[in-house]
A and B are shown apart, each in its own frame.
Chain A
Amino acid sequence: MSSVLWFQGGACSGNTMSFLNADEPNVVDLITDFGLDLLWHPSLGLELGMNARRLFDDCASGEKPLDIFVFEGTVIEGPDGTGRYDMFADRAMKDWVVDLAAAASVVVAIGDCAAWGGIPAMAPNPTDSTGLQFHKRERGGFLGSDFRSKSGLPVINIPGCPAHPDWITQIIVALATGRAGDIALDELHRPQTFFKTFTQTGCTRVQFFEYKQSTTSFGEGTRTGCLFYEFGCRGPMTHSPCNRILWNRQSSKTRAGQPCFGCTEPEYPFFDLMPGTVFKTQKVSGVIPREVPEGSDHLTYMAHAAAARVAAPQWSKEDMFVV
């Protein structure tokens, strides 16, 4: 039996909604079969008013043991460090975060906002939003780089905008079935079993990437080609299992013709969405991608691309995802 308290700061509830899409296990399975004791959640919580407040106080004081503190959304520090842009149960939410993070055995940041600040922390960051233990790629965030929960772990980051439900449910099942020791984190505190691979891993467009053949336009243009060259797809530079563990059991952005925005990486939204950066590949000299796949460099990439285009078979220039 693991007790879980789930709070939302500067959040859209997207990670909660994503979590509710879970299957194998679904949210009911987690509670009835895997002994998850969901003490309170903003959408699913039973208690309201004073009853809820008592529960939070008991968790914060340690009177009620708290195994997992899940935080969704940014920690809002504004205005002027007061946190009054996000009040919850009569206190600044940031003050709840301090108490509950200290009381919990494990602290989990779900979604980009809680992990690194996400969209609310994008320039000009009007609410002084930040992540639990990172601000974008910079270590520290709200709790500081030295923070360790009672179990000795740093904040576990499950990024994504939103996070895929499996990325959290499978971790919970791992904890419930004695596999906590198998959960290894990467340098950004992400479970590496999910975030070692690239978004491109398993993408149905990867053969077009191999031969440097571009999608021609949105809509019917996505019946062929790769979205990396013209449409700003970040699949080769982003770590996620989006094309290994499909979304809603059906598809992924890139499979459905939508460029990856790199939402599991701390820099998301990239280039602060400044003019000319949305759905458009950033280029040098008008033709060379400004960013090349991870581990490559411009010279190597250009040589490889030239050879690949020469080798491109006819089918790679035709529609593949046809009626």
Chain B
Amino acid sequence: MTAVDLFVSPLGRVEGDLDVRVTIEDGVVTSAWTEAAMFRGFEIILQGKDPQAGLIVTPRICGICGGSHLYKAAYALDTAWKTQVPANATLIRNIAQACETLQSIPRYFYALFAIDLTNKNYARSSLYDEAVRRFAPYVGTSYGPGVVLSGKPVEVYAIFGGQWPHSSFMVPGGVMCAPTLSDVTRAIAILEHWKVNWLEKYWLGCSVDRWLANETWDDILAWVDENESQYNSDCGFFIRYAQDIGLDAYGAGTGDFIATGTYFDPTLYANPTIDGRNAALKGRSGIYANGQFSQFDQARVREDVTHSFYEGTQARHPFEGETKPLDPKIARSQGKYSFAKSPRYDVPGVGYIPLEAGPLARRVAAGAPDAAAHQDYDPLFLDVLAQKGPSVFTRQLARMHEAPKYFRWVREWLDQIDLHESFYTKPVEHAEGRGFGATEAARGSLADWIVIEDGKIANYQVVTPTAWNIGPRDGAENLGPIEAALVGSPIVDQEDPVELGHVARSFDSCLVCTVHAYDGKGRELSKFVINGSV
């Protein structure tokens, strides 16, 4: 048996600095450490500031999902200040954030993920030449249109929010804009252009409606073979190629999921409260662990810093959260190895465990029974998981499934805007309050907890999808979801460990999206691995 310690720094294209440390035995990963190497201290910066400072600051945590940061920051204030949000404002917020996700899906797929599909390790596949022809960076026949047209959905964001990235147009009580007729008609035209010229032409090879008629894994297999157009679409090709090169065989992760849900019914969340949140969601929240569904409850979230470069060992609820950074060089001697905290969730009857966030988690939550009439009920991925299990491929397919789904939702919301009604209700700016706002960024559950005292921010904590996924081990030595997903990955070429990239990237973890992100000092890290090897 040969054991090799491999330290990959940097693992690019995960949006930020991610270092991965793995131990490989006989060509298979047997343990893994993911390290967030950068710290910016946004939660510290927010203390003592204007209650609305989060609307400007938190989008800058992550330029990739800044619209999602804005969305949940606005709802954190809505719940703290007990605002009234007009239906139009809820619709515009939904449209804008969903457009950010529609941008992210192709941009992520072609620019960040699919490049690895052209790696020479896959040259043995009979489909390899076709993969290179489509996905090669800059020159691939699908790369160019996919990346360039990904800018279209955020043109719609800019119509309502002024610009993307980094708008702050969602404010407690509504939105800053008041669209005109041509704002709405142009938004519709831009989205239709994007649908025709990328989503249906390149990705699906069929109509949005045809794809969304798939309800099982067998339906998807039959869809691939239904006609030439679908078989040869990027989606059809990806399904065939991913199975040929084995992306469906590794990267499973914990199999336990969290979705905080997103997008509100325009009439059901006019007076946002923490308790009323789940029932008002269109994109459902939910926990799925040990094969059981349960309701998402923000009170059950804790952040563990046992192995994170912060002071303290006690897991804290974000309302009582602390962010006290340590010098990584010193903290390593205490077994700490990442600037990411480890979010954990108290699953009823199970206890605090790591949960995977992201599109697959959302698709699982969408399959839970008892959906209300206004909510997304979509059992497709429960069946895909039952047939195929979680993997790099399943995670990826779940993400891509959301492009036609969210496109349809955005079109419906645009039709529901009443241009003659209100977009904003001026709130009372209470000097005291606690708020919770959450959403689903493209890459998973994202939430803010704000405590306002004496007219300023007393505490502000952000838990990002990247923290859920990339966080290190916790006090009970449970691996974080990406660490768990890396274990079992086959590594063909240790000089070019593309498999690690696939697994990490399948979570689309924008590492800058961890407010606390890491370090990779080779020597100290090796020492830790020797001491802490699981």
Which residue numbers of A lie inside 8 Å of B, CB to CB?
8-18, 20-23, 26-28, 31-32, 40-53, 74, 76, 79-80, 82, 84-90, 93, 118-120, 122-124, 126-127, 129, 161-162, 217-223, 242, 246-258, 261, 269, 272-279, 321-323
Residue of A nearest to B57 (CB): A119
For the complex, what is the distance from the CA of A257 to the CA of B147, rounded to whole Å? Answer: 29
A257–B522 touching, CB < 8 Å: no
Minimum CB–CB distance for A307 against chain B, Å:
30
A279–B63 touching, CB < 8 Å: no
- Selecting from B155-163, B291-299, B349-357, B432-440, the interface stretch reads B155-163
Contact A218-B175, Cβ < 8 Å, known A84-B328, A273-B56 = yes
B49–A161 touching, CB < 8 Å: no
Cross-chain pairs A/B with CB under 8 angstroms, 13 sampled: A14-B64, A21-B154, A32-B139, A46-B115, A49-B10, A84-B328, A118-B60, A218-B424, A219-B89, A219-B174, A219-B424, A221-B178, A256-B159
Chain A residues within 8 Å of B61, by CB: 12
Residue of B nearest to A223 (CB): B178
A278–B50 touching, CB < 8 Å: yes
For the complex, what is the distance from the CA of A46 to the CA of B501, rounded to whole Å? Answer: 11
A253–B148 touching, CB < 8 Å: no
B63–A18 touching, CB < 8 Å: yes
Partner of A258, one of B162, B325, B329: B162
Chain B residues within 8 Å of A126, by CB: 40-41, 44-45, 325
Chain B residues within 8 Å of A247, by CB: 158, 162-164
A89–B9 touching, CB < 8 Å: yes
A258–B168 touching, CB < 8 Å: yes
Partner of A20, one of B13, B51, B107: B107
Minimum CB–CB distance for A236 against chain B, Å:
17
B496–A218 touching, CB < 8 Å: no
B60–A161 touching, CB < 8 Å: yes
Residue of B nearest to A247 (CB): B163
Chain A residues within 8 Å of B60, by CB: 12, 14, 118-119, 161
- Selecting from B195-203, B237-245, B267-275, B512-520, the interface stretch reads B512-520
- Among B150, B166, B186, the most chain A Cβ lie within 10 Å of the Cβ of B166
For the complex, what is the distance from the CA of A322 to the CA of B37, rounded to whole Å? Answer: 49
- Among B56, B162, B339, B455, the most chain A Cβ lie within 10 Å of the Cβ of B162
Minimum CB–CB distance for A219 against chain B, Å:
2
B178–A257 touching, CB < 8 Å: yes
For the complex, what is the distance from the CA of A15 to the CA of B167, rounded to whole Å? Answer: 13
A278–B520 touching, CB < 8 Å: no
B11–A49 touching, CB < 8 Å: yes
Chain B residues within 8 Å of A250, by CB: 155, 158-159, 186
Minimum CB–CB distance for B19 against chain A, Å:
8
For the complex, what is the distance from the CA of A125 to the CA of B354, rounded to whole Å? Answer: 32
Partner of A162, one of B44, B63, B154: B63
B176 within 8 Å of A (CB atoms): yes
Chain B residues within 8 Å of A255, by CB: 162
**Beta-carbon contacts of B50-86 to A below 8 Å, as 1s and 0s?**
1111011100111110100000000000000000001
B39 within 8 Å of A (CB atoms): yes
Minimum CB–CB distance for B369 against chain A, Å:
38
Which 9 A/B pairs are nearest by Cβ-Cβ distance?
A219-B424, A14-B63, A126-B41, A247-B163, A219-B423, A248-B158, A256-B162, A253-B162, A273-B53
B159–A86 touching, CB < 8 Å: no
B45–A13 touching, CB < 8 Å: no
A48–B11 touching, CB < 8 Å: yes
For the complex, what is the distance from the CA of A28 to the CA of B151, rounded to whole Å? Answer: 13
B405 within 8 Å of A (CB atoms): no
Minimum CB–CB distance for B102 against chain A, Å:
13
A217–B426 touching, CB < 8 Å: yes
Partner of B180, one of A27, A80, A124, A322: A322
For residues 12 through 67 of chain B, which have their beta carbon under 8 Å from a beta carbon of chain A?
A: 12-13, 15-17, 19, 37-42, 44-45, 48-53, 55-57, 60-64, 66
Chain A residues within 8 Å of B456, by CB: 275
A23–B148 touching, CB < 8 Å: yes
For the complex, what is the distance from the CA of A213 to the CA of B23, rounded to whole Å? Answer: 67
Contact A256-B16, Cβ < 8 Å, known A13-B62, A127-B41, A251-B158 = no
Q: Known pairs A16-B63, A89-B9, A274-B50. 10 more at Cβ < 8 A?
A: A20-B150, A22-B151, A28-B138, A53-B9, A127-B39, A217-B424, A220-B423, A250-B158, A250-B159, A261-B56
For the complex, what is the distance from the CA of A8 to the CA of B16, rounded to whole Å? Answer: 8
Chain B residues within 8 Å of A42, by CB: 10, 12-13, 15-17
- Among B11, B111, B456, the most chain A Cβ lie within 10 Å of the Cβ of B111
Contact A129-B148, Cβ < 8 Å, known A218-B176, A323-B181 = no
B39–A222 touching, CB < 8 Å: no
For the complex, what is the distance from the CA of A247 to the CA of B496, rounded to whole Å? Answer: 39
Chain A residues within 8 Å of B169, by CB: 253, 256-258
Chain A residues within 8 Å of B175, by CB: 218-219
**Beta-carbon contacts of B403-435 to A below 8 Å, as 1s and 0s?**
000000000000000011011111000000000
Chain B residues within 8 Å of A276, by CB: 50, 455
Minimum CB–CB distance for B340 against chain A, Å:
13
A248–B164 touching, CB < 8 Å: yes
Contact A43-B12, Cβ < 8 Å, known A86-B38, A87-B520, A322-B180 = yes
Contact A248-B178, Cβ < 8 Å, known A42-B13, A48-B8 = no
B165 within 8 Å of A (CB atoms): yes
For the complex, what is the distance from the CA of A121 to the CA of B165, rounded to whole Å? Answer: 20
Contact A120-B53, Cβ < 8 Å, known A250-B158, A258-B161 = no
Residue of B nearest to A254 (CB): B162
- Among B111, B112, B165, B419, the most chain A Cβ lie within 10 Å of the Cβ of B165
Minimum CB–CB distance for A19 against chain B, Å:
10
Residue of B nearest to A45 (CB): B12
B38–A85 touching, CB < 8 Å: yes
B510 within 8 Å of A (CB atoms): yes
